[in-house]
């Protein structure tokens, strides 16, 4: 299948926007295209170092804009970080500390994971008391549109996108994955209409198509288009054509005999060699390319800010064990950089950037005030209490040094442990709630987080730990509690089964997926029923 838009076209689209003759006035309010990809890892893009995945359209955003090399999600799982993107707050403040739907307290024991702690209760939807980014923009004349994954409450909670400032909601509800219909039409999503001529269309292209429709209809207004992909969340699916492309590429690059190694809790994928996941990423990239082309076709590319990020790291363990984060340890759910550091790009057409790399640590909570600032709208520090505007950094200036905080008093499906974290300058301290021990890493010299230097830097570790504990106390947050009936031996046996039973099963599945005759089902998850992926308008 030919690509919708080639890299040269997109680079031309974005690069043409930086000439001084095309600058908007200081009082003009720009349009905003805010793109969130689900579970996309820091190293899951070619522009961020991947030699396996191909993402020319996403790369073009980065290469024409600003790349934040220390861009972080506010949580290693989805719902908490998604809330932070919209309210500008860290998770301990807004209280949605776990992905919506996860059990807590005694209900957690029914999972039979035999953990030492019982995770606390948490908020299950975005607070109605918070003034969200779309609400702030609506107050200033913006039309607001949401398409894709929500996972921040349900209709019963009165917490759908339209309850929090979006004029239009396409496909957003309480589910966190494409569980109703998969990644190919019909999608059976209760907040989105399926059409007969869309059979075989990918979910990502469907969301792009709906976003393009909104942009075209509102090209004479000022708008926020929030495109929140369900991909690349499990269950991963792609077309036969894309699977073949990346299976052949994996073979050319050399397929390792063993594809997994044990982390502390679960096996972790060692390499980027999953051809289905690679195909799913490419489908997202093509969908994004189609929306960027819509902006250009409607003369909106010169006055539309483009934000691109992910809600957490890529999945190395758990779910579909899909990817590896190369230079980073861990992935989604984990307390290490692979779980927290994400792709983070901001393209502002009237600012000359061209792939400018900004190393200052920044957070998903910062995007709310940054967009207000770029739109010449007064900031709302009482709302986005933890986020700061990054506009000075985009202008080549400085912002004040500050610590970043994370609080995850839960166990993740991907091997994550109950932790709280502070990053200050190049130092990262992790507090583990099971036994209250700490780890300290110098991220300048140890990005892989393989060398705990807390004992060699005792005074620094104590100071950072005090700051972290004081901050948590000021948030009046919730903590995990000990299970008085904890069975240590049952826990040991469960962890051992991950090594002796789960890992061999994963190795077998990996080899099957990389074999030339592999086929998931007769119609490749419905993609071969009828393909309209090139039809976007």
Give per-residue pLDDT as tens, 46-78.
999 999 999 999 999 999 999 999 999 999 999
Count of beta carbons in the 10 Å neighbourhood of residue 462: 13
Residue 433's Cα: distance from chain center in Å? 25
Is 90 exceeded by the pLDDT of residue 338? yes
Strands 481-482 and 117-118, sheet pairing: antiparallel
- At how many degrees (to 10) do helices 367-374 and 78-87 cross? 30
Q: Find out whether 62 and 42 touch, Cβ atoms under 8 Å.
A: no
pLDDT band of 9, cuts 50, 70, 90: very low
- What mean pLDDT comes out for the span 351-377? 96
Tokens in use for 340?
């927290």
**Across the beta sheet with 438-442, what order do the strands follow?**
404-408, 419-424, 427-432, 438-442
Q: What is the pLDDT of residue 26?
A: 43
SS3 assignment for 401-427: CCCEEEEECCCCCCCCCCEEEEEECCE
Residue 41 has pLDDT above 50, yes or no: yes
Q: Are 483 and 109 in contact (CB under 8 A)?
A: yes
Contact criterion met (CB below 8 Å) for 464 and 402: no
**Measured at the alpha carbon of residue 534, what is the angle toward residues 532 and 537, in degrees to the nearest 5?**
90
Distance CA 83, CA 275 (A): 31
Pair 326, 272: CB distance under 8 Å? yes
Q: With 0-12 CB in 10 A as exposed, 13-18 as middle and 19+ as buried, what is 450? A: exposed
pLDDT for 28 equals 74
- Count CB neighbours of 537 within 10 A: 10
Cβ(120)–Cβ(103) under 8 Å? no
Mean predicted confidence (pLDDT) in 367-394: 98
Return the SS3 of 216: helix
Mean local confidence (pLDDT), 86-104? 97
92 contacts: CB under 8 Å, gap ≥ 6: 405, 407, 420, 471, 472, 475, 477
309-330, pLDDT tens digit by residue? 999 999 999 999 999 999 999 9
Percent of the chain with pLDDT over 70: 93
Residues 6+ apart with CB under 8 A from 279: 238, 239, 242, 243, 245, 246
Can you tell me the distance from the alpha carbon of 70 to that of 249, in angstroms, rounded to the nearest whole number?
Answer: 30
Q: Judge whether 389 and 366 are in contact, CB under 8 Å.
A: yes
- List of residues 6+ apart from 294 with CB closer than 8 A: 211, 212, 215, 216, 536, 537
**Cα dihedral: 517, 522, 527, 529 (round 10):** 140
Q: What is the mean pLDDT of the chain?
A: 94
Q: What pTM, to 2 d.p., does this model score?
A: 0.94
Residue 239: count of CB within 10 angstroms of its CB? 24
Distance CA 171, CA 175 (A): 10
List phi, psi (to 5°) of 440.
-125, 130
CA distance 120 to 480: 5
* Dist CA 267 CA 177 (whole Å): 22
Q: Which domains can be identified in the chain, with CATH numbers?
A: 30-98+129-396+489-526 (3.40.720.10)
Phi/psi-derived region of residue 359, left when phi > 0, alpha when psi is between -120 and 50, beta in every other case: alpha
Which DSSP state fits 202?
Answer: B
Which pLDDT does position 153 carry in this prediction? 97
Q: For 11-20, 147-156, 423-432, which range has the lowest pLDDT when averaged over its residues?
A: 11-20
> pLDDT tens, 459-475?
999 999 999 999 999 99
Confidence of residue 16 (pLDDT cuts 50, 70, 90): very low
Q: Return the percentage of the chain with pLDDT > 90, whole number.
A: 92
pLDDT tens string 192-248: 999 999 999 999 999 999 999 999 999 999 999 999 999 999 999 999 999 999 999
Helix axes 275-297, 56-64, angle to 10 degrees: 60
If you compute the radius of gyration of the chain from its CA atoms, what whole number of angstroms results?
22
CA distance 515 to 309: 33
Is residue 226 within 8 A of residue 144, CB to CB? The reply is: yes
């Amino acid at each position: 299948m030919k690509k919708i838009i080639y890299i040269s076209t997109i680079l031309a689209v974005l690069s043409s926007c930086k000439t001084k003759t095309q600058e908007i006035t200081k009082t003009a309010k720009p349009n905003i295209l805010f793109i969130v990809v689900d579970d996309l890892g820091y190293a899951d893009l070619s522009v961020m170092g991947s030699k396996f995945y191909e993402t020319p359209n996403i790369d073009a955003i980065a290469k024409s804009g600003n790349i934040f090399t220390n861009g972080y999600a506010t949580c290693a799982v989805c719902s908490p970080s998604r809330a932070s993107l919209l309210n500008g707050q860290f998770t301990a403040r807004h209280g949605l500390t776990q992905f919506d739907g996860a059990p807590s307290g005694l209900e957690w024991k029914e999972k039979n994971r035999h953990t030492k702690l019982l995770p606390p209760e948490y908020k299950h939807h975005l607070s109605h008391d918070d003034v969200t980014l779309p609400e702030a923009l609506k107050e200033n004349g913006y039309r607001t549109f949401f398409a894709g994954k929500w996972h921040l409450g349900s209709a019963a909670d009165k917490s759908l996108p339209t309850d929090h400032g979006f004029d239009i909601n396409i496909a957003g509800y309480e589910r966190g994955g494409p569980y109703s219909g998969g990644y190919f039409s019909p999608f059976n999503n209760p907040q989105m209409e399926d059409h007969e001529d869309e059979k075989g269309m990918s979910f990502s292209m469907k969301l792009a198509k709906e976003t393009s429709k909104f942009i075209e209809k509102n090209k004479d207004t000022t708008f926020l288009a929030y495109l929140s992909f369900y991909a690349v969340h499990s269950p991963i699916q792609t077309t036969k054509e894309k699977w073949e492309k990346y299976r052949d590429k994996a073979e050319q690059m050399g397929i390792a005999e063993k594809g997994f190694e044990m982390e502390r809790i679960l096996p972790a994928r060692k390499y980027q060699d999953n051809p289905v996941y690679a195909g799913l990423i490419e489908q997202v990239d093509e969908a994004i390319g189609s929306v960027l082309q819509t902006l250009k076709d409607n003369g909106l590319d010169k006055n539309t800010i483009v934000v691109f990020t992910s809600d957490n790291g890529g999945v190395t363990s758990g779910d579909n064990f899909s990817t590896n984060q190369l230079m980073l340890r861990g992935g989604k759910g984990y307390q290490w950089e692979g779980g927290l550091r994400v792709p983070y790009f901001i393209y502002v057409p009237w600012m000359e950037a061209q792939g400018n790399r900004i190393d200052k640590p920044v957070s998903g909570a910062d995007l709310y005030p940054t967009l207000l600032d770029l739109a010449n709208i007064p900031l709302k520090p009482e709302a986005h209490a933890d986020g700061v505007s990054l506009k000075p950094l985009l202008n080549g200036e400085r912002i004040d040094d500050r610590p970043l905080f994370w609080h995850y008093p839960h166990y993740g499906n991907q091997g994550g442990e109950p932790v709280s974290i502070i990053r200050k300058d190049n130092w990262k301290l992790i507090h583990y709630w099971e036994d209250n021990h700490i780890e300290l890493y110098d991220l300048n010299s140890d990005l892989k987080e393989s060398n705990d230097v807390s004992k060699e830097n005792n005074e620094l570790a104590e100071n950072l730990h005090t700051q972290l504990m004081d901050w948590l106390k000021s948030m009046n947050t919730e903590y995990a509690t000990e299970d008085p009936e904890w069975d240590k031996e049952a826990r040991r046996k469960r962890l051992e089964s991950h090594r002796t039973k789960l890992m061999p099963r994963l190795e077998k599945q990996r080899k099957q997926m990389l074999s030339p005759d592999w086929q998931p089902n007769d119609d490749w998850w419905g993609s071969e029923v009828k393909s309209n992926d090139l039809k976007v308008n």
